């Protein structure tokens, strides 16, 4: 699903009945000041998050670094210190899912896949990535699916940059999710 540009979202919301009040409700009135005051902190947190979750090149789907990358996102998502960090962790999670799915696909092509047959078909790349996340988070598959759904939404709100998440109000946007 393609991200929705803020300008397009604003146009759609303004055309909808009550749209202006909705866009005003999700975008901070003080977004310029908020960005100026918090950009350094957010940048630092983002760099740390990316550093902990970047996978090395030519890694296989059985490499422990994949579980470690998912585990690095556990605390910011489940026990957040700040809403900004949680939002960025969701964005990073969906990016990590995409990368892991490509790794699983590559392993399958190289004959390294550890996937089991299920009803005559091999398991889907996405399913294996979800299983890896479930193992890393030590939670249930339905919980991971819900987290993944939220992560996709945060990725849309973050487009074109994760720093766009700074313009949204703290509480109202959580209700939209």
pLDDT grade for 23, boundaries at 50, 70 and 90: low
Which range is most confident: 7-11, 129-133, 150-154? 129-133
Say which residues have a Cβ less than 8 Å from residue 110's Cβ, sequence separation at least 6: none
In 3D space, the residue among 127, 85, 134 whose CA is nearest the CA of residue 108 turns out to be 127
Q: Please state the rounded mean pLDDT for residues 117-142.
A: 83
**End-to-end CA, the chain:** 16
* d(C-alpha 70, C-alpha 90), whole Å: 11
Q: Please state the rounded mean pLDDT for residues 40-53.
A: 93
Question: 8 in helix, strand or coil?
Answer: helix
Give the rounded distance of the alpha carbon of 94 from its chain centre.
4
- pLDDT tens track for 66-95: 999 999 999 999 998 888 899 999 999 999
pLDDT grade for 3, boundaries at 50, 70 and 90: low
pTM attached to this predicted model:
0.77
φ/ψ (deg, to 5) at 61:
-70, -15
* d(C-alpha 148, C-alpha 154), whole Å: 10
pLDDT grade for 164, boundaries at 50, 70 and 90: confident
Average per-residue pLDDT in the chain?
A: 81
pLDDT grade for 137, boundaries at 50, 70 and 90: very high
pLDDT grade for 158, boundaries at 50, 70 and 90: confident
* d(C-alpha 130, C-alpha 143), whole Å: 10
């Amino acid at each position: 699903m393609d991200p929705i540009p803020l300008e397009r979202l604003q146009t759609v919301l303004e055309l909808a009945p009550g749209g202006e009040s909705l866009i005003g409700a999700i975008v901070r009135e003080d977004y310029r000041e908020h960005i100026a005051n918090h950009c350094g902190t957010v940048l630092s947190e983002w760099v740390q998050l990316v550093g902990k979750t970047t996978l090395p090149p030519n890694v296989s789907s059985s490499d422990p670094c994949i579980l470690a990358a998912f585990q690095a996102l556990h605390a910011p998502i489940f026990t957040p210190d700040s809403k900004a960090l949680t939002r960025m962790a969701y964005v990073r999670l969906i990016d990590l899912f995409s990368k892991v799915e490509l790794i699983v696909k590559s392993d399958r092509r190289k004959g390294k896949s550890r996937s089991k047959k299920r009803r005559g078909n091999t398991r889907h790349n996405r399913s294996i990535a979800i299983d890896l996340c479930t193992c890393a988070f030590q939670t249930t598959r339905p919980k991971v699916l819900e987290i993944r759904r939220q992560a996709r939404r945060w990725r849309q709100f973050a487009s074109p940059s994760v720093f766009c998440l700074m313009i949204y109000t703290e509480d109202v946007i959580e209700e939209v999710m």
